[in-house]
Amino acid sequence: MNPQPSSSACGRLEAAWEVLRQIPDPEVPVISLWELGIVRDLRETAGGLEVVLTPTYSGCPATELIQDDVRAALARFGTVEVILQRAPAWTTDWISEAGREKLRAYGIAPPGRVLDSGAQPIRLVHRASLSKLACPRCGSANTEKLSAFGSTACKALYRCLACREPFEYFKPI
């Protein structure tokens, strides 16, 4: 679940949260960093703000750009310190339901849940290999995997055999 500002947060912190909710992911701009679940916390400091981000994976090429985007978007609040928190590791379970719907509408099949009752990640077999993925365009389960990697390492490339359209699948982590 994505963090929410506390009810006791001041108006400045509330305004900063609202800005964070609007910053698009640089690789999939239809979803915000908050909806993607990488914004873990926001704290007020004496000189500005401290934002805690968990990258989608340690080698994500967009990490520096994301940090710069967050600093630029929140600059009006004073100094912005970005903290990269790698533990616990980001999981696709942190993608909000609204984010999953936006991915689907954008043509990317969102991942299923990978955690069992909030405990340890299930790392056996991707659900996509256990059952057919539904095409995000037409909904057909008559799909095939074309490549383990799509436009980025965190996505795989599939094709719908019903509508013949290719689509990416956001791999569960």
pTM of the full predicted structure? 0.74
* Residue 147 near residue 157 (C-beta atoms within 8 A): yes
Q: Which two tokens stand for residue 67?
A: 């940090």
Triad 133, 36, 53: Cα angle to 5°: 140
Q: Which domains does the chain have, with CATH numbers?
A: 11-84 (3.30.300.130), 107-170 (no CATH)
Rounded distance between C-alpha atoms, residue 170 and residue 173, angstroms: 9
Rounded distance between C-alpha atoms, residue 65 and residue 69, angstroms: 6
Work out the percent of the chain whose per-residue pLDDT is above 90.
60
**Range picked from 9-23, 27-41, 51-65, 107-121 for highest mean pLDDT:** 27-41
What digits encode the pLDDT tens for the residues 88-119?
A: 989 989 999 999 999 999 999 988 777 654 54
Candidate from 84-88, 98-102, 136-140, 152-156 with smallest mean pLDDT: 152-156
H/E stretch holding 92: none
